Amino acid sequence: MPVATTRAIAIDAPDPVALARFYAGIVGGEINDDGNGWVELDAPAGTRLAFQEAPGLVPPEWPSADKSQQLHLDFTVADLDEGEREVLRLGATPLDTDDNGRRFRVYRDPAGHPFCLCVD
C-alpha cells in the first residue's frame, strides 16, 4: 500500500510565473499564483507542476556528469516536428537537434531546465 500520492513536481525558477506560462503553453491548464514565489499549474490531465522562486538559479548542463540535470520532464507529442515548432515558439532552446531517428528530442526551458518531447 502506498504511503502517499504525488501532489506536484516542483521546479526552481528565477521567474515562476513566466515558467508556469511556458509549461501551460505545452500542456494547457490553469495557473495559480500565491503571490509569495510559489506558482502552480493545474494541467487538465496529469500531475500538477509547481514553480518556486529561485533568483540565483544556476541551470543544469545537459549532458554533464559535473552539473547533472537532477530531473527532467518528458512530454508525449503526436509529431516531433510539430511539437518542436510549438515549444520553440514558446521560448524553448534545442539542446539535441540530431535525433538520429530516436523517438525523443531534448530542449531547455526558459529557466534552463532540460525537458524532452517524445513520441510513442
Question: Which of 22, 37, 57 delimits the end of a domain?
Answer: 57
* Whether residue 119 sits in one domain with residue 63: yes
Residues 109 and 66 in one domain: yes
Residue 52 CA to residue 16 CA, distance in Å, equals 6
Tell whether 17 and 42 lie within a shared domain.
Answer: yes
Could you give the CA distance from residue 38 to residue 35 in angstroms, rounded to a whole number? 7
User: What residues make up the domain containing 118?
Assistant: 59-120
Q: Assess whether 11 and 40 both reside in one domain.
A: yes
Mean local confidence (pLDDT), 43-63:
86
5 DSSP assignment:
-
Cell 538559479 locates to 57
Q: Report the pLDDT value the prediction gives residue 97, as an integer from 0 to 100.
A: 67
Look up the CATH number of the domain holding residue 112.
Answer: 3.10.180.10
Domain match, 87 and 101 both: yes
- Last residue of one domain, picked from the residues 57, 74, 105: 57
Question: What pTM was computed for the model?
Answer: 0.79
Reduced to 3 states, what is the DSSP secondary structure of residue 41? strand
**11 and 51 share a domain?**
yes
What number of other Cβ atoms are within 10 A of residue 16's Cβ?
Answer: 25
Note the pLDDT of residue 102.
80
CB 21, CB 31: distance < 8 Å: yes
Q: Which value, in Å, is the radius of gyration of the alpha carbons in the chain?
A: 15
**Position 65 pLDDT exceeds 70:** yes
pLDDT of 75 above 80: yes
- How many independent structural domains does the chain possess? 2
- pLDDT 10s digits, 35-46: 889 999 998 887
Return the C-alpha cell found at 115: 525537458
Residue 15 confidence class, pLDDT cut points 50, 70, 90: very high
Residues 110, 63 share a domain: yes
Is the domain of 64 the same as that of 95?
yes
- Kindly state the average pLDDT of the residues 81-101: 88
pLDDT bracket for residue 3 (50, 70, 90): low
